[in-house]
Structure formats: C-alpha cells, structure tokens
Amino acid sequence: MTVTLGRTGMNITRTGFGSWAVSGSGWSFGWGDTDDAESIAAIRHALDSGVNWIDTAAVYGLGHSEELVGKAIAGLSDADRPYIFTKAGLVWDPEHPATSPRRIMKPASVRREVEDSLRRLGVEAIDLYQVHYPDTGESLEYAGDGFGAVSPNATPLEEYWQVMADLKAEGKVRAIGLSNHDADLLERAERVAHVDVIQPPFSAINRSAAAEIAWARAHDTGVIVYSPMQSGLLTGAFTAERVAGLPADDWRKAHADFTTGLTANLALVEALRPIAARHGRSVAEVAIAWVLAWPGITAAIVGARKPAQVDGWIDAATLELAPADLEEIATAIETSGAGTGPARRA
C-alpha cells in the first residue's frame, strides 16, 4: 500500500527505511559498532519486503550512511530503485569527528553538501532533500526537538530555503523539506517556496510536533516522522538492564529518554503489551501503527541494523487500531507520564 507524499507526485509506502542506526561509530551521535555487510543486508531486506523509500543524512556516520545506501541500491534500475531522501545542514570537522557537528545552511555550504551526497549515493538527483535543523551556527546538542543557541552568523531561513528551492528548480533534487522546524518557521518558509515535506520526531513518547503536523495538514504538505519507536524504546525489547549495558559510544546511553525518563517510558511499553497480544502483533508494530493513525502523518521512518529487525516492524502499516485501542494507549500515556505533547488526536 502506498500514499501520496503531499504534492510531490511520489507515492510512498507508509514505512520507510531509516539509516541513522547503521551509520557506525566514531562520531558524536553514533549507535555503537555496526557491521556494514549486515546493514546493507537489512536495507535490501526492507526493499525486498516492499519498502520503497530510504531516509538518510549526510551527517549520519559523517557520510558513511549515505555510502552504505549507495552500495545497497547500486545496480538497481530506475524502475526498481527506491526513493532516496537525505538531509543537509549539519557540518562536521573531518579532523575532529567525535565533536558535535554544527548547524550550517550557508548557500555555498549547502551546494557543497548536495554534490557530496549525490556522489556518495551514486544518484543523479535526490528525490527529497531536507534541511536537518534550523541554521544556528552552533554545535548540535541533541535534544529531540530543541534548536539550541543562535549565532549572529546564522543564515536566515528565507536565505537557505531559497537555496533549497533553487536546487529543486535546477533538477538536482525533486522535492524539498524541513526537519525539526517549528510552525512559525514553516510559515516563513512557505512564503518563499512551498514546503513539500516536513520531518519531525513523533512517537507515543515524543508527541511535541503535533502543531507542526497540523500545519502541514492544512498546507497540503507531506509528513514523514522519525523515531516512531523512540530510538528502540518502543520495540518492547528494552529493559533498565539493557540500557545500563549500552556501549559508551551509543548516544542513547546519556539521553534523557534512557535516563531520567526511562521509568515512565518503560511503563508505557508495558501498557502496550496487552494491545499487541490482542492483535497478535509486536509492541513495535503497535507503536508504529499508533503514529500512522495520527491525522496528517503520511509515513514513518523506521530503522534496523539487521534483516531480522525489519521483520519486527514491516507489517505495522497493516495494523488498524480500533478507537478502543487508541483510547487505551492515550490513557496509558497519561498514566505513565511518558514524554510530552497531546495523547489524543485532535
């Protein structure tokens, strides 16, 4: 089953393969060591299972994720190749890879990034090119949806969004989008050029982008959300012991979702188990189905590092949660105190 992605003309499956988790270690937001052969196998397994789009970013693994995606799709005909979505705007220092990347959307920098991404991916045009974060000029300090400090040298949104529109007009990219931009910024961008797609975080834990999703729905803008399983927490496989055992180079080990918020988040997971059991599905599938049921959401990005992990979520789009299920989940969200944002659909 596919759905139309805003006005882009692309029809996409309701889940797409997210390649952040396969980016490897050695950079500030890595997930620990990964096996490249296994990562490529996971991507190809998702495609063989019907997924028709891959989401990546230049910064994931400092180019490594895009290179893996390029290898996974190499040799595929245009008819068989999945849509490729990537992002720009997080720039790293090659000599100091462990330091946090900076949020930079200066026109010359964006044009360098798009050429580098095209080369790593091995494609002639990028199907969806997205701005990863608003340009602040400062180092990224990951907080899910925080924007951080703004440098006096930051590029104004109107300037960098015009560059994105120019890339689309030149044929280097097919559609343009904004990730992690609030509704006020989306409105400013829309006055420059139509926002084809937004990519906010959204899950039963992080519901803070509800206003941006509502904005997109009102503007015929596609919405692909990331982290519908909240970086693995909503798979049902996490325990406090597993979190404690995460390697030191896994960014999740120090994140609030896995530290101060862990008890509430795991309580929510436990509340999802009986719903999953009733439907004969996994907790992960219930978590993704809840996201896909939210009005305005087109599709969700779901990651995997091994082919078997793909099998744990590949059928999530076929799960239709009943009103009683949605009410039970809303009550569980409120009772557990997990995350932020509305628990019920508007």
Q: How far apart are CA 280 and CA 32, in angstroms?
A: 32
As a whole number of Å, the end-to-end CA separation of the chain is: 25
CA distance 107 to 116: 14
DSSP at 205: S
From residue 91, how far is each of 44, 70, 73, 100, 140 by CA, in Å? 28, 20, 25, 9, 10
Tell me, what DSSP letter sits at residue 31? B
Helix (H, G, I), strand (E, B) or coil at 131: strand
What are 27's two structure tokens?
Answer: 């950079």
| Amino acid symbol at 23 | S
φ, ψ (nearest 5 deg) of residue 179: -110, 140
- Rg of the chain (C-alpha set): 19
SS3 84: strand
**Contact in structure between 188 and 156 (CB atoms under 8 Å):** no
Single-letter residue type at 314: I
Tokens of 281: 């599905």
- Taking alpha carbons only, the member of 3, 11, 74 closest to residue 43 is 74
Q: Do 290 and 328 contact (CB within 8 A), yes or no?
A: no
Whether 60 is catalytic is yes
Positive or negative torsion for Cα 105, 11, 200, 190? positive
Which one of the listed residues 60, 83, 129, 226 is annotated catalytic?
60
What angle is formed at CA 200 by the lines to CA 197 and CA 206, rounded to 5 degrees?
Answer: 155
| Residues belonging to the active site | 60
